[in-house]
Amino acid sequence: MASHFHSVAIARSDMAHIDRSTLKQYPRIVTISRPGTTPMTRSISADEDFFERRNLRITCTIKHMRTDFRPQASEILPNLYLSDMYTATNPTVLRRLGITHVISVVETMWHAFPSDIVHLCLSIHDSPFSDMSYLFDPTVDWMQDAMDGNEHARVLVHCMLGMSRSASVVLAYLMASRGMSLVVALAHVKVRRIIVQPNAGFVKQLMWYERLLRDRERWKSSLR
């Protein structure tokens, strides 16, 4: 599976050996900001901000069945949330939920998060031809490190709609950390966020990841 992130490419045979340091090896697709740093942000007037926020809210409102699924953060686990861009960039929501870490799975992240939030940005296009499979392991490790390092940690994962890219990251986390199958993980997430629907390419990558996790468990069992 070819990578579509500029010159970045990782062979399928190498994927099982990627560790969390991978996130630091690809600055073109991954950016991390930590508490105490000040990410670059645009200068924007109050009027521009109002109209931009209004348009973003409209964009993030999904027609589901006969009703609108409005922008919101969905609690997947007590310390893990899944949301759209509008919700993730709302400081009031972040404070109310006690969010300490944010993962943005978008092509371009223009928003500067509060300085006390650790931010990870994965530049991924929502296309069946985009490859995010080699980022599953290091991103899962990053999330687990955040939660293990602070009992009060709250991680929010978002893309534009909270439906495909960010949902795929959350599904990978549930499979790797909770031992869920893809079917069980997807059912768990859809009960909590009904619009979740990874694109066909991401589903195939998650199926591959499920097989990889299963093979790892077999290998560990053989060593006991």
Report the alpha-carbon angle 213-216-221, nearest 5.
130
Distance CA 129, CA 23 (A): 21
Q: Is 182 helix (H, G, I), strand (E, B) or coil?
A: helix
- Whether the CB-CB separation of 93 and 87 falls below 8 Å is answered with yes
* Cα separation values, 79 from 84, 85, 150, 167, Å: 17, 19, 11, 15
Q: Give 109's pLDDT tier (boundaries 50, 70, 90).
A: confident
- Whether the CB-CB separation of 209 and 171 falls below 8 Å is answered with no
Report the alpha-carbon angle 32-185-117, nearest 5.
25
What are the percentages of helix, strand and coil residues in the chain, rounded to 5? 45, 15, 40
Residues classed as catalytic: 159
Q: Which DSSP string corresponds to 42-88?
A: ----HHHHHHHHHHHHHHTPEEETTEEE-S--EEEETTEEEE-HHHH
What single letter denotes the amino acid at residue 151? E
Q: Where are the domains of the chain?
A: 18-218
Each residue of 6-39: pLDDT tens digit?
Answer: 323 333 334 334 455 555 544 444 555 555 443 4
pTM above 0.85, yes or no: no
According to the CATH classification, is domain 18-218 in 3.90.190.10?
yes
Q: Please report, rounded to a whole number, the percentage of residues in the chain having pLDDT higher than 90.
A: 60
Q: Give 221's pLDDT tier (boundaries 50, 70, 90).
A: confident
- Whether the CB-CB separation of 216 and 16 falls below 8 Å is answered with yes
- Which is more confidently placed, 7 or 167? 167
> For residue 56, what pLDDT is reported?
60
- Which is more confidently placed, 133 or 11? 133
